[in-house]
Chains A and B, each alone.
Chain A
Amino acid sequence: MAKKEYLDKYPRNPARSLWVMKPVSKALKIFFKTIAHRPVTILYPYEKMWMPENYRGRPGLRFDRCVACGMCVKMCPTACIKLVDTEDGSGQKVKRPQVNVGRCAMCGYCAEYCPVDAMTVTPEFELAEYTREDLIYGPKRLAYEGITERMEIHLEQTLMSDIKNGNPERRISPFKTDRPVLVEAKCISCKRCEKVCPVKAVTMVEHGVNEKGRPILYPEFNNDTCICCENCVEDCPKDALYINEVL
């Protein structure tokens, strides 16, 4: 059994603790012990506290890696992320996340659930501004220089089937295993999944002709480029798609 550290020494005679010279002598002892201490506080605006690399401050974005899949928008618990129109380096119109830092809870979900590791956490914590509009960080302002490896969070999970099969050391991201599956009877060939796919992993393939003479198109998914963002599943008007979760 573990021994009690404090209760074995206490309680003692309460009359002793009420004797007035005892605390004075104890306090003097502590005074001499602490007088040689270096200060624990720092002069804040001039000196900054050291923060480890993995400190979760405001979210950061790597503009080039982002594919505008909207996973961060879906996962944000405070709904502070929004996809906005912007221009990339070559002048093309693209969508990128915009973060309202005034609402951000610094939970790090946007970085954790980013399928392409574009969102990161940054150690920046001095975010005070004078107006609320200044708190909205656009895609360009979200960039953070000096992103190191520990600021990225990779979603590494172990599959339950792997543990059963005696391969418990394999860790895999769910964005590499889960894929959308089509229920062909429900599909109406509307091509919406092809339009919303951010990585162009959906191609509509012809499967014969229906009774009215129109071609029947079914989506086919490229398993290598798919990032499992579930945009096609959510936008399907007939619920013909679902995500097959590999467990």
Chain B
Amino acid sequence: MMSRDVIDIKAETSELHTDKMWVIMGPQHPFSHGLWTLKARLDGEIVVDAEPIIGYLHRGWEKECENRTYPKIIPMADRLCYAASMTYTHLYCMTVEKALGIDIPEKAKYIRIMADEICRIQSHLMWLAAVGTDLGNLTVFLWAMREREFFMDLNVRMCGARMTTNFPRIGGVRNDIDDEFAMFASRCVERFEKAIWDIIAMIDDSSVFVSRMKGTGILSREQCANLGITGPAMRGTGVDFDVRRDDPYDNYDKMDFEVPVLKEGDSYARYMVRIEELFQSCKIIKQCLQKVKAIGRNAPYRLKVPSKVPAGRAFVRMEDPRGESMMYLISDGTDKPYRLKVRSPIFVNVSAAKPLVLGSRIADVPAVMAMIDMCLGETDR
């Protein structure tokens, strides 16, 4: 009979592949918000290798744009990401405006960035709800969804639709906002700034949340630069960059807001950056409401633009709730684009899946990947 030590040594040196195994999570899995797969190679509990697989939601978005006239692409851009529909339509309209070489009215700029910030808040709240379910707290999920509902109502009052808003237009916005909306918006934002502290108290003082987020999924600045990660995931690692402040589009340079940056680089830092962004977005909405009121009711909000875009190329980038999104338009002088390329932030950020989950336990993978805020509509396009 062999001694215990001999058996252990034999198991270590054996050629049988029983020690490491691939665990395939997704595409239908509670942790994947959307249709994507994470293949994780496990050594016991520890993840030693990981590989994200995307492409389950590919719809041929970019190709389909080539068959549509310019205004018809706006409702399609809504459907790139239902949580960030305003920012994507805004980005598309800015790209076409740059190709046309026109400057839109001041009022439209303020209304657009206010719509963007409402969109950012509701997108972050949806992320917060997802984090709540991933970490096993349904109260956070329900409360975040409840707060989100108030911003959905603001969307309805502004443009008549809750999620796929179809609000910005090439040359301005769809409709003007009225005094009633301004009243509701300021009331909603003020209420939200108080109500969000309840959710923060649920998370920050709960050891369940904090112990699972602190120190997991650590990403360094170098990895951020090499992988091209943008957005709150990047600002959580100490990179001080925000397109809204450093390369301002529309009227963000006239706004007074702060870009939260934290150096830790773990999941908790990414969580804190997003929560602080909620407050900063509230500030921007309040300033926009004042500016729109000062401009007056009769000011122009929508320019008439030519239906044909002159031949050329245009490239615009903007700060999406999830990161830096870009669009690149090639026009051949007709009323349909020759090519429209979308750079989606999550398509790039999901490449960080391997360095994020490497070395962590398999139970931490949902918590770590939730901090990327997956959105598959824009990733697969």
Q: Are A3 and B302 in contact (CB under 8 A)?
A: no
Q: Is A108 on the interface with B (CB-CB < 8 A)? A: yes
* Chain A interface, >50% SS class: loop
- B303, A158: Cβ atoms closer than 8 Å: yes
Chain A: CB-nearest residue to B72: A77
State whether A163 and B161 are in contact (beta carbons under 8 Å apart), knowing that A2-B257, A105-B75, A157-B171 are contacts in the complex: no
B205 touches A22 (CB 8 A): yes
- Whole-angstrom CA separation of A6 from B171 in the bound complex: 36
B290 at the interface (CB under 8 A from A): no
Q: Is the CB of B280 closer than 8 A to any CB of chain A?
A: yes
Instruction: Check A171 for interface membership: any CB of B closer than 8 A.
Output: yes
CB distance from A113 to the nearest CB of B (A): 8
- Residue among A7, A18, A121 having the largest count of chain B Cβ atoms under 10 Å: A7
B276 contacts A7, C-beta separation under 8 Å: yes
Output the nearest chain A residue to B149 by Cβ-Cβ distance.
Answer: A40
**A52, B202: Cβ atoms closer than 8 Å:** no
Within 1-57 of A, Cβ neighbours of B (below 8 Å) are at 1-7, 10-11, 14, 17-18, 20, 22-23, 26-27, 29-30, 33-34, 40, 51-52, 54-56
CB distance B272 to A169 under 8 Å? no
One digit per residue, 1 when the CB lies within 8 angstroms of any chain B CB and 0 when it does not, for chain A 68-96 equals 00000001010000000000000000000
What residues of A have a CB within 8 angstroms of the CB of B205 in the complex? 17, 22-23, 26
B298 touches A169 (CB 8 A): yes
The answer to whether A14 and B198 have CB atoms under 8 Å apart is: no
Q: A245 an interface residue at 8 Å Cβ cutoff?
A: yes
B75 near A157 (CB under 8 angstroms)? no
- B299 surroundings in chain A (CB, below 8 A): 168-169
Which residues of chain B (363-378) have a CB below 8 Å from chain A? none
Let me know if A56 and B161 touch, CB within 8 A.
yes
Q: Specify which chain A residues have a CB less than 8 angstroms from the CB of B175 in the assembled complex.
A: 153
Q: Does A187 contact B (CB under 8 A)?
A: no
Chain B residues whose CB sits within 8 angstroms of the CB of A22 once the complex forms: 205
B254 contacts A by Cβ under 8 Å: no
> Is A107 interfacial (CB-CB < 8 Å)?
yes
Q: Quick one: which of B72, B276, B300 contacts A171, CB cutoff 8 A? A: B300
Q: Is there a chain A Cβ closer than 8 Å to B174's Cβ?
A: yes
Whether A158 and B302, one on each chain, are in contact in the complex, defined by CB atoms closer than 8 angstroms, is: yes
Whether A4 lies near B75 (C-beta < 8 A) is no
| Alpha-carbon gap, A158 to B299, bound state (A) | 9
Q: A22-B205, A153-B175 are in contact. Are A247 and B146 (CB under 8 A)?
A: no
Report if B28 contacts A (CB, 8 A). Answer: no
A218 at the interface (CB under 8 A from B): no
Q: Which residues of B contact A174 (CB under 8 A)?
A: 304
| Interface contact A54-B160, CB-CB below 8 Å | yes
Contact for A10 among B75, B149, B204, CB less than 8 A: B204
* A156: Cβ under 8 A from any B Cβ: yes
B307 at the interface (CB under 8 A from A): yes
Is residue B71 contacting chain A, with contact meaning CB distance below 8 A? yes
Nearest residue in B to A1 (C-beta to C-beta)? B258
CB distance from A108 to the nearest CB of B (A): 7
Interface residues of A (CB under 8 A from B): 1-7, 10-11, 14, 17-18, 20, 22-23, 26-27, 29-30, 33-34, 40, 51-52, 54-56, 75, 77, 105-109, 112, 121, 153, 156-160, 163, 168-169, 171, 174, 177, 245-247
Question: Which 5 residue pairs spanning A and B have beta carbons closest together?
Answer: A158-B300, A5-B279, A56-B160, A157-B304, A107-B75
